[in-house]
């Protein structure tokens, strides 16, 4: 079966300065890094509860979206965007943090479960429990022990980790460029092996 081209990229995060530069907002920050590299400008996407930008790549128009809903309602903005631009779920790429992956590791998948991520759970729920959409998972682990997970995900990064976090942002942006240029499967083969971008 022919792989569908990506027409919508959605990064997950929480709006507001309070959540800026936290592990749970790395999806937003990767899109911000992409915007710098590709000279994209995010504007308020009226009616979508999101910030949006338009990315012209490989002769196609790709919408780039950061929901302004809080994480656990991300699916509301995603559902509205899919309907507005007549995008099928398999033509959408979701970009988000994953505490199950070590800090700096990337994983590209064509489908999968929410894995306990509230934002992904919201998207799946709003898509009538459909899980067949590509995703770029950004490693922010290891998962803290006990009941510290929420405070870790919503708190600021430890300054000592800044170099690794910065590299994760850039690698995430490179992965997005590769996905849009070459397709999901070639990007999976490249980035999931841990090979750095040349």
Domains annotated on the chain, with CATH: 8-191 (3.40.50.1470)
- Please list the rounded mean pLDDT of every run of 10 residues in the chain (198 residues): 89 95 97 97 93 92 96 96 97 97 96 95 97 97 89 95 96 97 94 62
Q: What pLDDT is recorded for position 194? A: 61
β-pair partners for 53: 64
Q: What pLDDT is recorded for position 198? A: 37
Active site residues: 24
Report d(CA 85, CA 59) in Å as an integer.
Answer: 17
Structural tokens at position 67: 């929901």
Q: What pLDDT is recorded for position 146? A: 78
What is the 8-class DSSP label of residue 89?
G
Q: What pLDDT is recorded for position 59? A: 87
Nearest to 138 by CA among 102, 91, 111: 102
The CA-CA-CA angle for residues 9, 126, 78, to 5°, reads 25
């Amino acid at each position: 079966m022919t792989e569908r081209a990506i027409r919508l990229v959605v990064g997950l995060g929480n709006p507001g300065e309070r959540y800026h530069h936290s592990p749970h907002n790395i999806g937003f920050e990767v899109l911000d890094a992409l915007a710098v590299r590709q000279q994209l400008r995010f504007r308020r996407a009226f009616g979508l509860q999101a910030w949006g930008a338009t990315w012209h790549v490989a002769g196609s128009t790709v919408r780039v979206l950061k929901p302004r809903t809080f994480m656990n309602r991300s699916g509301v903005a995603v559902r509205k965007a899919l309907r507005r631009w007549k995008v099928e779920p398999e033509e959408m790429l979701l970009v988000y943090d994953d505490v199950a992956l070590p800090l700096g590791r990337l994983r590209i998948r064509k489908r999968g479960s929410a894995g306990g991520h509230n934002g992904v759970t919201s998207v799946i729920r709003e898509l009538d429990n459909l899980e067949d959409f590509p995703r770029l998972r950004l490693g922010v682990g290891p998962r803290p022990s006990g009941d510290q997970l929420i405070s870790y995900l919503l708190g600021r990064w430890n300054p000592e980790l800044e170099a690794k976090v910065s590299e994760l942002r850039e690698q995430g942006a490179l992965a997005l460029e590769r996905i849009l240029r070459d397709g999901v499967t070639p990007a999976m083969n490249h980035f999931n092996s841990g090979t750095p971008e040349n």
